[in-house]
Structure 1
Amino acid sequence: MTSSSHQPSDALLALASKLFDLARQGDTATLTAYLDAGAPADLTNDKGDSLVMLAAYHGHASTVKALLDHGGDPNRINDRGQSPLAGAVFKNAADVVRVLLDAGADPTFGHPSALETARMFARTDMLNTTSH
């Protein structure tokens, strides 16, 4: 019997792709059903972007909260050193910033950090939000 245990199946890759799309689109209900069925809330793509990162970057606060409630890491850095909080600040998504901060996201994490991002883009409203 041969095994390709190191290579994910096409079905698994298709499911992962679907989960990333659900996070990007903010389809909280469908994504939550997958999480409830055992899908990992910290799943990452080939760039190190987690489901939390994708939902945060695309401004979906309720999706971010659902992922965090299922064990997603608010401080998981992608391969470029970016945090979900910095992505939310960059996109000027105050509701996502609040959800991440409430879950323990660190505004000094990553490069550039959320605080550095807020300064870089002159988002003083985000600086006030992230300085908690």
Structure 2
Amino acid sequence: MTGDKNEPFQPDTEDEAAMADLAARVFGAARAGDAEMLASYVDAGLPVDLANEAGDTLLMLSAYHGHVASVQVLLKRGADANKANDRGQTPLAGAVFKNEPEIARALLDAGADPDAGSPSAADTARMFGKQDMLSRPAG
């Protein structure tokens, strides 16, 4: 770290390498479904809606890769169920595309909007004949 307390923070090469390593581990945990690791990092202060260079959040990666426990951990900690990536895709559309009904249900229960994004989850469901994934259970 450089500068005194009155100068803005300017990361040095070592800081940048540490941040890149942390990001790789956290996004890897989302892809791998390591719910415990994600919970510990978010509980320690990591932003729950942290996104990578493509705008994919931890929730998006967990949903797309089919990890319901990770999705639930992130939603419980306040992850935005409607946050789209840089291509306009939402976690719910990803869950529908990947045929993950349990994840779709968790996202819907957390307030995910089937009409958000482009293509939306509703559009994706119609395209692949998966409208049942977006319906509310009876009762």
Give the TM-score normalised by structure 1: 0.91
**Alignment partner of 1:129 is 2:103:** no
CA distance in 1: counterparts of 2:71 and 2:127, whole angstroms:
24
**Where do 5+ consecutive residues of structure 2 fail to align?**
4-8
**Alignment partner of 1:78 is 2:85:** yes
**Alignment partner of 1:4 is 2:25:** no
Q: Is the 8 A contact 2:31 2:62 kept in 1?
A: yes
CA distance in 1: counterparts of 2:56 and 2:38, whole angstroms:
16
- State the match for 2:124 in structure 1: 117
**Where do 5+ consecutive residues of structure 1 fail to align?**
none
Q: 1:128 Cα shift?
A: 2.1
- State the match for 1:31 in structure 2: 38
Identity among equivalent positions (%) equals: 52
Which amino acid letter does the alignment assign opposite residue 4 of structure 1?
Answer: Q
- State the match for 2:67 in structure 1: 60
CA distance in 1: counterparts of 2:103 and 2:43, whole angstroms:
22
The alignment yields a C-alpha RMSD, in angstroms, of 1.7
Instruction: Report the count of equivalent residues.
Output: 129
Q: Deviations over 1:99-121 (max 9, x none)?
A: 00000000000000001001111
CA distance in 2: counterparts of 1:122 and 1:104, whole angstroms:
22
SS in 2 for 1:16: helix
Q: Which has the larger radius of gyration?
A: 2
